[in-house]
Amino acid sequence: SKPIVAIVGRPNVGKSTLFNVLAGEKISIVKDTPGVTRDRIYADCTWLNHHFTLIDTGGIEPDSSDIILSQMREQAQIAIDTADVIIFITDVRQGLQDADSKVADMLRRSGKPVILAVNKVDSFAKFMADVYEFYNLGIGDPVPVSASSRLGIGDLLDEVVKHF
């Protein structure tokens, strides 16, 4: 059967925006309110003759005891367990957060291949210098992308399909 690719990261980093770009249609709800995607959402995707199933998740807020946020964390963990490859998204505008490091630890424990996407790099000239700090996650080379401006998407998918 087709490989499964899960998109994970903190709320509001742009998971659903990226999901919609990769799915080629607007399936997932994008909102400024963090954590709006509460269920896992699936789409069939193709890149360079590779077919895969993509899963959007509600997001992971590692330390929260809030019931909804902890349910989202559980759903994300199920997606991680199901996935063959994980796209871990962070936000260059917010910079590297403590919660990103905790998500990175969760992902390392999964033993799955992880592609680190640094989103909201809407201008490479303006934001590229801020991408380098994400090397500190120790999870590999950060791939700069802008989901909303559709920049870096091909490079990201090239990295994903290498693991199929």
Annotated binding site: 9-16, 56-60, 119-122
Q: Which residue, 66, 8, 67, 65, is CA-closest to 40?
A: 8
Nearest-10 crossing angle of helices 98-110, 67-82:
40
* Residue 17 interacting with Mg ion (CB under 5 A): no
Decide: is 16 part of the binding site for Mg ion (CB under 5 A).
yes
Question: CB under 5 to 8 A by kind: which of Mg ion, ligand GDP, none does 31 bind?
Answer: ligand GDP
DSSP state string for 87-134: EEEEETTT-S-HHHHHHHHHHHHHT--EEEEEE----HHHHGGGTGGG
Q: In this complex, which beta carbon is closest to ligand GDP, that of residue 20 or of residue 137?
A: 20
Q: Which is nearer to ligand GDP, 31 or 51 (CB)?
A: 31
Select 50 or 97, whichever has its Cβ closest to ligand GDP: 97
Q: Considering the rule CB under 5 A, would residue 12 count as an interface residue with Mg ion?
A: no
Minimum CB distance to ligand GDP smaller for 14 or for 142: 14
Pull the structure tokens for residue 5: 């690719």
Q: Which helix (H) or strand (E) holds 44?
A: strand 41-47
Instruction: List interacting residues with ligand GDP (CB under 6 A).
Output: 11-17, 30-32, 34, 36-37, 59, 119-120, 122, 146-149
Annotated binding site for GTP: 9-16, 56-60, 119-122
User: Which letter does DSSP use for residue 162 in this model?
Assistant: T
